[in-house]
Amino acid sequence: MIKTNSLKSAKLYVIKRDGRKEEIHFDKITSRIQKLCYNLNMDFVDPVGKHSNLL
């Protein structure tokens, strides 16, 4: 498990499908999750909080 303090100092990366390593952008993740949540009942979905579970 990664502690919150180390998240701010450590850079996080994603591995793209073509094998490139790219620094993570949480705004891109949030935007994609919001698009996938379109037409869902927002009483049961929190798209902003979901990407924190991925770490």
Q: What percent of the chain has pLDDT over 70?
A: 71
Total domain count for the chain?
Answer: 1
Q: Best-predicted range by mean pLDDT among 8-12, 15-19, 36-40?
A: 15-19
* 25: containing domain: 4-54
pTM, rounded to two decimals? 0.56
**Cβ atoms of residues 23 and 12 within 8 Å:** yes
**Cβ atoms of residues 19 and 1 within 8 Å:** no
Model confidence at 18: pLDDT above 90: yes
pLDDT confidence bin for 4, thresholds 50/70/90: low
